[in-house]
Amino acid sequence: METGVSGRLDDLMAEALKLQPVNVCTYSPLVLAYIGDAVYEVLIRTKVINRGSMQVNKMHKKSASLVKAESQANMIKVLQEELTEEELAVYKRGRNARSATMAKHATMIDYRMATGFEALIGYLYLQSRYERLLTLIHDGLEKIGEFS
């Protein structure tokens, strides 16, 4: 296991939540997207509240604008060239997964790209590759003109 902050966080979560070791490669791309969606939203909300105190409704609108499928699709478009072969394969598995649902206000293409992006986020999170996860989110936000 890694040392430092991520190692401590992993240990704390495993102990407190009684987590069993699991091979992340056994999860379906939709399961990876499920956890990736939550992780990405928490990180975006953290970034939004860090910009200073404002009305919660304004924070929600800003967060929602960055976690919607269209924004996630834009993020992965600008990040694709930075991805390793492994990361690109995870993204494509997520993008090509057939989901039973679709976002209300998204095109099918954006929704599938967003699902692939979320699968990648979930994959990196479950592997405790926090530095890489945060680098991609930072770079993506910067490239789409958010929080530069």
* Structure tokens that stand for 93 in this block: 């598995």
pLDDT attached to residue 22: 85
| Domain definitions of the chain by residue range | 24-143
pLDDT attached to residue 1: 37
* Structure tokens that stand for 143 in this block: 């490239």
Q: What is the mean pLDDT of each run of 10 residues along the chain (148 residues)?
A: 59 89 91 96 93 88 91 96 97 88 80 96 95 96 82
CATH code, 24-143: 1.10.1520.10
CA 19, CA 14: separation in Å to the nearest integer? 5
Each residue's pLDDT tens digit, 31-63:
999 999 999 999 999 999 988 888 999 989 999
The CA R_g of the chain, rounded to the nearest whole Å, is 15
Q: How far is CA 70 from the centre of its chain?
A: 14
Residues belonging to the active site: 37
CA 35, CA 2: separation in Å to the nearest integer? 21
Going through 16-134 in order, the beta strands assigned E by DSSP cover: none
CA 146, CA 139: separation in Å to the nearest integer? 10
In this structure, the number of other CB atoms found within 10 A of the CB of residue 60 comes to: 12
